[in-house]
Structure 1
Amino acid sequence: MDSTMSRTEAAEPHRQTADDVLAALDSDPRSGLTQRQARQRLDRVGANALAAESPPPAWKKILAQFANVLVILLLVAALISAGLWLFERDSALPFEAMAIFAIVLLNAAMGYIQDARAEQAVAALQKMSAAHATVVRDGTRQSILATEIVPGDIILIEEGDTVPADARLIEAVSLQMAEAPLTGESLPVTKAVAPIPSDVPLGDRRNMIFSGTAATYGRGRAVVVATGMQTQIGRIAGMLEGAPEETTPLQRELDKVGRLLGAIVVVIAVVMIATILLVENVHGISAIFDVLILGVALAVAAIPEGLPAIVTAVLAIGVQRMAKRHAIIRHLAAVETLGSADVVASDKTGTLTRNEMTVRVIITASGRATFGGTGDDPQGGLSADGGAAVDGDQLAETLRALTAADRANNAALVERDGRWSVQGDPTEGALIVAARKAGLEREALDARFERVGEVPFSSERKLMSTVHSDGDEPGRLVVLTKGAPDVLLERCSHELAGNEVRPLSEARRGEIAALNDQLAGEALRTLGLAFRTLPEETAGTEAFDDGIERDLVFLGLVGMIDPPRDEARAAIERAKAAGIRPIMITGDHPVTASVIAAELGLSDGRAATGAELEAMSEEALDETVREVSVFARVSPEHKLRIVKALQRHHKTVAMTGDGVNDAPALKTADIGIAMGIAGTDVSKQSADIVLADDNFASIVAAVEEGRAIYANIRKFLRYLLSSNIGEVMTMFFGVLLAEAIGLTAAGGGGFVLPLLATQILWINLVTDGAPALALGVDPADAGVMRQPPRPRGERVITPAMWAGILLVGLVMAAGTLVVLDACLPGGWIEGSGTIVYAQTMAFTTLTLFQLFNVFNARSDHTSAFVGLFANRWLWAAVGLSAVLHAAVVYVPFLQAAFSTTNLGAADWLFCAVVASSVLWVREAGKFIGRALVQGSRPANADGIKPSLQ
């Protein structure tokens, strides 16, 4: 009978002895499971694989692209336009309907392509799993598919192996694991077998190995306690699947605008139809049907048909801009969301730091010396305290210590194409780099010290020793040892001072221990170095053992750290100046996190730990995230809680990360930012943005681009809506005031419109496209990074913007109707033109109004004449629109299609003068607004008053 314990029964295996776990799983540490047991368990628990939901069918994905208010309105507009063409047959084909359909289909295609790549995080998680695993079954060692691993299997792990499932160690020989992708721990973790009596975070479970992590050193034997979705990586996959899809602020706001426009469309259609039927003398079914068609067509004209396409195009252009600044956009809407972010929650390792261990300090008997440079490049000086050169006894001691560090070492420093990199353990690599910085060359050391033996690192001893023959002193063997300073000191009887060896007194031992504590307080990882000599005849005996690690001569202490990126501090300062709060969320040790944060100017050094967060209520966590900017030793659940707590404070959160453990928070955050170089596939697929250079400074550059793009979106929204409202007001008041302005049909029968439906639709096609798109590539305002982030609840179109939009629409309508009145007999201004001439003049005036208005729309506050020629695309678009309108006025077949007639130079001048009034009215309003705002707005700490967009 199979008595395997379940996941719940095996809860917290790190707290139990290895024998207890083996007994509960009915497994033998030497012979493992039988094949029969393995088959039974595989049938019961399922394959060791991550579950993935079946993707929705393609037709559902396609339909989802049309589930948008504006898209639905556009489809209605296309149908109405096609219906209008069927009744009027005013052109060879329904070009307007075809254009709208093309816009809708283009947007749907682009959305489908984006969505097809958006849900690949679980697939990336599966790729991380080992394809095969080495197990012991029926007493024999064998390689099986990782998917066939079951709880109770005995797995064997050696250097370079990827762990196939979560397992409890039953044997560990110098075993070190790279767990950064899962826990965020920047250094390899040394593993042990002993139980851990207390409940500790994932990163401190030293007797456990986890699926998806890799062995960097040593070997081990472990019993599997969890497979598939029950593993730690499986739990992350489950959270990833459960994370809701967040809509961005722009998506939410455009949906609101769409619903508002939908309501306006219905009201306009009803009011317009009712007004014509009540005010005008309409007789017969045909005439009534014409009125209905006109009312609906006018309502269609109120919708900015090009809005979705222009938004998509502008965001796509933003993607190209950001790519030049090393930010790769996976979702178009992320462009604007990043610009509105007011919190950036960043991982430490590899994002704010270089993810390269660097020796900073070496302390010997004569004092402390500091290394310059960072990373794997062996460039950087060595200086004593105060900046003086290292010489005399201190230099001799330093060179002896670094020789031991370089030789008691199994890593290698290599150069390829001008780039230096470490092969092997990063800590050992950092020691080699330090030796090179001090002038010790590998060739010379290899020639003098030939290795003849080794006592490998053991987690119990916490030491590693190598034995070498000394080429300068034949007949002498040298033992070089490195390890934990407290353990090493116990094995030392003397200390090197200059070129002399002196006894190590108890007082001196206390001083060295205090220096070690001081380095640890600086968040430096410390190692001790020592040596001793052996007689030559020892080389002929059996293999060396740890008995040689006694009567050692202490050489010194080295302190190393994963240093901050050079540009990270400046980027953090710039982010703060832009009103963005940086937060560090890391799986690393609290002391290390606090020191790095203080160096970066991120906080005062206070850090909250995952254990503290675990004990907090939601209310306490909400208060903590207000005050604390550094979170250490956190788990994936903690990261999610932090992000959600920030969102409860109505913050737009950008979350950066590179590991598997970051994926759920990346997906839940308003904007997820993954590292392109060090990031896992999981984090990249879960993110909205991938940083090609893993540089925190690139985030700030992307924020600047995002803010500029969002400002440009507001510009063309301001332009499109004010222009379309101008058309609606022109038609509405033109019909309402028809008799007053002389707009009556010959003989007094029927009714006459200020503009024909085809003319309105043509204006939309000509003026809504190229000029609006050109506004989308307007240069960024110089003060864009001196403004605070856009408030989370602020609408894309503010009340002040709506006021300006309505004012512009009113000026356009008034000016157009004045021109219409001046061209017709009767009315307030006596004219003598025909209906066709008057409509052509009104048609031209309204078109020019919109071309003048495009310069107004660049800002609600800044004068249109500031940077007037900065955007050459805008001038090209205005010129193109003017040429197209002129074609409608003068080309014969277009004249027939749009009921226009030739205009003279004086006519054009009259239309242009009237149309320019919209520019002067808005300039006056902006001047008054700037005077009022600048007089009341306080300056910031630098004496700069925020610029206005």
Structure 2
Amino acid sequence: MTIERVVTASGTVDLSGVGYAPVGRATSRGGELGEDDGLHGEAQFVLGAGSLANDAQLAEHDGEWEIQGDPTEAAFLVAVRKLEGTAERASHYGRVGEVPFSSERKMMSTAHRHENGAVLLFSKGAPDVLLEHCSRLQVGDATVPLDAERRARALADVDELSDAAFRTLGVAYRPAPELQNISGGEDRPLIDESHEHDLVYAGVVGIIDPPRPEARPAIAEAHAAGIRIIMITGDHPATAARIARDLGIIADDGIALPGARLDDMDEQELRDTVRSVSVFARVAPEHKLRIVDALQADGQVVAMTGDGVNDAPALKSADIGVAMGITGTEVTKEAAKMVLADDDFATIVHAVREGRVIFDNIRKFLRYLLYSNMGEVLTVFFGIVFAGVLGLTAAADGGLVLPLLATQILWINLVTDSGPALAMGVDPEIDDVMARPPRGIHDRAIDTGMWIGIAVTGLVISVVTLLTMDIFLPGGLIPGGTDTLEVARTAGFTTLVFAALITAFNARSATSSAFRGLFSNAWLWGAVMLGVVLQVAVVSLPPLQVAFGTAALDGTHWLACAAMASLVLWVEEVRKFGIRVVERPRGRADAAVL
């Protein structure tokens, strides 16, 4: 927060320098501002009064300037030190009373006794609110009545600052002789809002709080992901609208809706409003809660960010409350479901991406396991039902024969369901997860589309496995086979293992080609290669042949097994291509409230 402009009755003062180091110079109309200039005195008074009605602290430690308290209040302490001789004036005043700031009042006041004994009341707050408590205007060393024309001019100054994306705070004061007898001790009588009347309006400051450079790209990425960004702020509507336009939250002709308008709306009207309005300004804490509730009543999933105590109810009500880890209060952190360690909106968007990748990997894991297991189930089922057609019955001299032995099924589960499945859990992003709309509230992890893919892939795995056995068995659908049942079963067994391993690459995406990002997951490749080596071992080593009922295969067998297993890849590629051709984007958006 940095005060860059001070506007008084006599003109405008620009202050250079950014951050909390009180280094900069004052200029007006492009030239240096002299101390004998009346405008200089008015700017000094505005910044000095704002520094007195203030609870922040500014200090230098090891050459670095640091603040304690609200950054907006600290901006006054920094700016007042940029005007020579102004900072020392605060030492002449001692605070004797305070009317604290609140979001409902949007202003605060403090009473101070000057060393000469006079008591003054200093106030600062939202300019439009503060002006309602003012009856006079400071011009140089004199005060004049704040008539309608001067009031309109002051409001126009506020609008000009707001249109330039400044946050605005007005400053006012008045002599308070009725507080003359306040002791200033711990038992001093409290002053209250009744003392905030007949104030003298001194001027307004323009505070720049530039968005982080990464904010606009993050918002654009969120919009592409179907996430709607809503800005709720206490700023002036013009300031809020200007910042929202700069960030891409609203279009160039978009506006900010004042919070006062919400008071006149019933729940249905508010629900209709939040569907189209994305910027709310000059809001009270209860407005935030009503907006969140209205969005949820409209079927939206809402993430709400906040840092103050007043934000806690809305964070608690939201589906995901996000508290600021640096500037957030403990109350807010306790109410939230997530704490943002760096207070950076871009981190929220990054977390959305990571969350979608994790969920994608869970679906990949499930898809792969169900692909391969469905293949095993259908292989055994169809192998028994169509045993006569495939030549299995003839090979067993008319008896019932299983296409796979129990030990072979266990081996398939060991090889395919362990390493490749675990590698799916660390699979990098294949599809652009931020280019798709959010999932619906009632969407299932295993949806209809996945079940169709499971059924198709499982059927293809079983067909290529059984046909491989038929190729090498005498009789059946494919004539010419001369091998024994053990060799044919081993070939089918090997084909099923290879098909399951190949399916791991198919399962990485429901729509993208298996060749996209083919080599991006080294763990998956390692698991697949290990599976191939283990399968070769269980077929070739005599001790394992005895244990798993396998027989040695020659080069023709291995080549046939690999070729038949690869059909799983090509059939799935054709199916995915068809999905990409006919698929249409489905419009859906969640609401994220910032």
Q: Indicate the TM-score class for this superposition, using the shorter chain for normalisation.
A: 0.7 to 0.9
Question: Among residues 434, 444, 461, which one is paired with 2:79 in the alignment?
Answer: 434
Q: Structure 1 pair 390/689, CA: closer, same or farther in 2 (3 Å)?
A: same
Residue by residue, what CA displacement relative to the aligned partner does 1:768-810 show, whole Å, maximum 9, x if unpaired?
A: 2322332333332474333332344444344343333322222
Equivalent position amino acid for 1:855 in 2? F
Q: Structure 1 pair 715/393, CA: closer, same or farther in 2 (3 Å)?
A: same
Indicate the residue corresponding to 1:847 in structure 2.
497
Question: Among residues 545, 548, 557, which one is paired with 2:203 in the alignment?
Answer: 557
User: Quick check: 1:526 aligned with 2:170?
Assistant: yes
After superposition, residues 674-713 of structure 1 pair within 5 angstroms as 674-713=323-362
Structure 2: give runs of 5+ residues left out of the alignment: 101-107, 125-129, 176-182, 185-199, 588-594
Q: Structure 1 pair 796/520, CA: closer, same or farther in 2 (3 Å)?
A: same
Mapped partners of 2:70, 2:227: distance in 1 = 37
User: Quick check: 1:643 aligned with 2:281?
Assistant: no
- Shift of residue 739, structure 1, vs aligned partner: 1.5
SS at match of 1:524: strand
Equivalent position amino acid for 1:690 in 2? V
Question: Among residues 913, 920, 923, which one is paired with 2:563 in the alignment?
Answer: 913
Indicate the residue corresponding to 2:190 in structure 1.
none
SS at match of 2:6: strand
Question: Among residues 490, 496, 516, which one is paired with 2:154 in the alignment?
Answer: 516
Mapped partners of 1:645, 1:755: distance in 2 = 58
Indicate the residue corresponding to 1:825 in structure 2.
474
Equivalent pairs: percent with the same residue? 46
- Shift of residue 673, structure 1, vs aligned partner: 2.3
Indicate the residue corresponding to 2:105 in structure 1.
none
Equivalent position amino acid for 1:900 in 2? T
Residue by residue, what CA displacement relative to the aligned partner does 1:366-391 show, whole Å, maximum 9, x if unpaired?
A: 52134466664546776656xx3544
User: Quick check: 1:729 aligned with 2:373?
Assistant: no
After superposition, residues 600-679 of structure 1 pair within 5 angstroms as 600-603=247-250, 604-607=254-257, 609=259, 612=262, 616-617=266-267, 619-631=268-280, 633-635=283-285, 639=288, 641-660=290-309, 662-663=311-312, 665-679=314-328
Q: Structure 1 pair 794/653, CA: closer, same or farther in 2 (3 Å)?
A: same
Equivalent position amino acid for 1:517 in 2? L
SS at match of 2:392: coil
Q: Structure 1 pair 455/420, CA: closer, same or farther in 2 (3 Å)?
A: closer
Q: Structure 1 pair 774/391, CA: closer, same or farther in 2 (3 Å)?
A: same
Are the equivalent residues in 1 in contact too, given 2:430–2:516 (CA < 8 A)? no
- Bigger shift: residues 716-725 or 360-369: 360-369
After superposition, residues 329-344 of structure 1 pair within 5 angstroms as none
After superposition, residues 550-589 of structure 1 pair within 5 angstroms as 557-561=203-207, 563=209, 565-567=211-213, 568-585=215-232
Indicate the residue corresponding to 1:359 in structure 2.
3
- Bigger shift: residues 366-375 or 866-875: 366-375
Q: Structure 1 pair 789/493, CA: closer, same or farther in 2 (3 Å)?
A: closer
Indicate the residue corresponding to 1:926 in structure 2.
576
Indicate the residue corresponding to 2:189 in structure 1.
none
Equivalent position amino acid for 2:572 in 1? R
Q: Structure 1 pair 662/432, CA: closer, same or farther in 2 (3 Å)?
A: closer
Mapped partners of 1:784, 1:793: distance in 2 = 19
Mapped partners of 1:640, 1:459: distance in 2 = 26
After superposition, residues 356-395 of structure 1 pair within 5 angstroms as 358-364=2-8, 366-371=10-15, 376-378=20-22, 384=28, 388-391=30-33
Equivalent position amino acid for 1:809 in 2? G
Q: Structure 1 pair 452/722, CA: closer, same or farther in 2 (3 Å)?
A: closer
Mapped partners of 2:317, 2:92: distance in 1 = 55
Mapped partners of 2:565, 2:392: distance in 1 = 20
Residue by residue, what CA displacement relative to the aligned partner does 1:193-231 show, whole Å, maximum 9, x if unpaired?
A: xxxxxxxxxxxxxxxxxxxxxxxxxxxxxxxxxxxxxxx
- Shift of residue 466, structure 1, vs aligned partner: 6.6
- Bigger shift: residues 745-754 or 858-867: 745-754
Are the equivalent residues in 1 in contact too, given 2:34–2:40 (CA < 8 A)? no
Mapped partners of 2:136, 2:316: distance in 1 = 51
Are the equivalent residues in 1 in contact too, given 2:11–2:39 (CA < 8 A)? no
Mapped partners of 1:361, 1:530: distance in 2 = 23
Residue by residue, what CA displacement relative to the aligned partner does 1:10-37 show, whole Å, maximum 9, x if unpaired?
A: xxxxxxxxxxxxxxxxxxxxxxxxxxxx
Mapped partners of 1:760, 1:416: distance in 2 = 70
Mapped partners of 1:380, 1:873: distance in 2 = 56
Mapped partners of 1:557, 1:745: distance in 2 = 101
SS at match of 1:760: helix
Name the TM-score, length of structure 1 as normaliser.
0.49
The count of corresponding residues between Structure 1 and Structure 2 is 538
Are the equivalent residues in 2 in contact too, given 1:519–1:559 (CA < 8 A)? no
SS at match of 2:229: strand
Are the equivalent residues in 2 in contact too, given 1:575–1:581 (CA < 8 A)? yes
SS at match of 2:388: coil
Equivalent position amino acid for 1:714 in 2? R
Structure 1: give runs of 5+ residues left out of the alignment: 1-355, 470-476, 497-502, 532-541, 544-553, 940-949
Mapped partners of 2:359, 2:332: distance in 1 = 26
Q: Structure 1 pair 863/382, CA: closer, same or farther in 2 (3 Å)?
A: farther
Are the equivalent residues in 2 in contact too, given 1:405–1:529 (CA < 8 A)? no
Residue by residue, what CA displacement relative to the aligned partner does 1:93-143 show, whole Å, maximum 9, x if unpaired?
A: xxxxxxxxxxxxxxxxxxxxxxxxxxxxxxxxxxxxxxxxxxxxxxxxxxx
Q: Structure 1 pair 378/393, CA: closer, same or farther in 2 (3 Å)?
A: closer
- Shift of residue 847, structure 1, vs aligned partner: 0.7
- Shift of residue 559, structure 1, vs aligned partner: 1.7
Q: Structure 1 pair 405/684, CA: closer, same or farther in 2 (3 Å)?
A: closer
- Shift of residue 364, structure 1, vs aligned partner: 4.2
Mapped partners of 2:23, 2:376: distance in 1 = 68
Q: Structure 1 pair 682/751, CA: closer, same or farther in 2 (3 Å)?
A: farther
Question: Among residues 30, 33, 40, which one is paired with 1:398 in the alignment?
Answer: 40
Indicate the residue corresponding to 1:881 in structure 2.
531
Are the equivalent residues in 2 in contact too, given 1:720–1:768 (CA < 8 A)? yes
SS at match of 2:387: coil
Q: Structure 1 pair 493/922, CA: closer, same or farther in 2 (3 Å)?
A: closer
- Shift of residue 745, structure 1, vs aligned partner: 7.7
Question: Among residues 519, 529, 551, which one is paired with 1:869 in the alignment?
Answer: 519
- Shift of residue 578, structure 1, vs aligned partner: 2.7
User: Quick check: 1:786 aligned with 2:459?
Assistant: no
Q: Structure 1 pair 679/899, CA: closer, same or farther in 2 (3 Å)?
A: farther
- Shift of residue 584, structure 1, vs aligned partner: 3.3
Are the equivalent residues in 1 in contact too, given 2:226–2:436 (CA < 8 A)? yes
SS at match of 1:744: helix
- Bigger shift: residues 842-851 or 802-811: 802-811
- Shift of residue 938, structure 1, vs aligned partner: 12
Q: Structure 1 pair 929/647, CA: closer, same or farther in 2 (3 Å)?
A: same
- Bigger shift: residues 909-918 or 825-834: 825-834
Indicate the residue corresponding to 2:464 in structure 1.
815
Q: Structure 1 pair 890/784, CA: closer, same or farther in 2 (3 Å)?
A: same
- Shift of residue 871, structure 1, vs aligned partner: 2.2
Mapped partners of 1:578, 1:450: distance in 2 = 51
Residue by residue, what CA displacement relative to the aligned partner does 1:447-466 show, whole Å, maximum 9, x if unpaired?
A: xx694554645559956557
SS at match of 1:627: coil
Are the equivalent residues in 1 in contact too, given 2:46–2:202 (CA < 8 A)? no
Q: Structure 1 pair 762/373, CA: closer, same or farther in 2 (3 Å)?
A: farther
Mapped partners of 1:486, 1:647: distance in 2 = 37
Are the equivalent residues in 2 in contact too, given 1:364–1:555 (CA < 8 A)? no
Mapped partners of 1:435, 1:366: distance in 2 = 18
Mapped partners of 1:511, 1:416: distance in 2 = 47
Residue by residue, what CA displacement relative to the aligned partner does 1:276-312 show, whole Å, maximum 9, x if unpaired?
A: xxxxxxxxxxxxxxxxxxxxxxxxxxxxxxxxxxxxx
- Shift of residue 846, structure 1, vs aligned partner: 0.5
- Shift of residue 734, structure 1, vs aligned partner: 0.5
SS at match of 1:708: helix
Over the residues paired in the alignment, what is the CA RMSD in angstroms? 4.4
After superposition, residues 305-316 of structure 1 pair within 5 angstroms as none
